[in-house]
Amino acid sequence: MNLVGPGPIALHFDDADAVALALRTLAHRDEEPLLLGTRWADLGSGAGFPGIALAAHHPQIQIDLIESRERRVAFLQQVIRSTGLENARVQHVRAERIEAQTYDGVIARAFAPPARYLPLAAELVKTGGCVVVLANRQVDNPVESLRAFHVERYRSGGKDRLMVVFKKI
């Protein structure tokens, strides 16, 4: 089953951990902390990156792993059973069919290009919530209701990465 892109699987784990830890740091900073809320979605979860890492590092948050492909859903359900993560669950649904303003946060790795991902994520997140974009290069924001909150450049697997956090206003 083709669950992740090319490269060693360890790089995907490391990248997901880096993102989950960066969000924790943002939530605990003194000046304008990021309010994580209680319910997040990982769109197009695939092999569970970064949603599983987010669930492991943030047990107070319910993480919905959104996946439309049946085989990947079965894989994710097995991962959740094996890890015992009680705050992660799989939703076998297309992201476009999720009720609007359901989540405090939305994240995705390789779900869709930002121009397609951001409008959909903005619909799914509540006002005051956040949308996280994980990319290799600068992200243009086509959505008026999202404002840039934090931009973080980091290295993972020898590659330059970018995490952009938007807040819905």
Question: pLDDT value at position 9?
Answer: 60
Question: pLDDT value at position 158?
Answer: 78
Question: pLDDT value at position 99?
Answer: 92
- How many Cβ atoms sit within 10 Å of the Cβ of residue 18? 20
Domains and CATH numbers, the chain: 9-26+35-168 (3.40.50.150)
Question: pLDDT value at position 137?
Answer: 83
Cα 68 to Cα 125: distance, rounded to the nearest angstrom: 19
Question: pLDDT value at position 154?
Answer: 85
Write out residues in the chain with pLDDT < 50, as ranges: none
Question: pLDDT value at position 13?
Answer: 73
Decide: 70 and 1 in contact? Cβ < 8 Å.
no
Cα 90 to Cα 106: distance, rounded to the nearest angstrom: 14
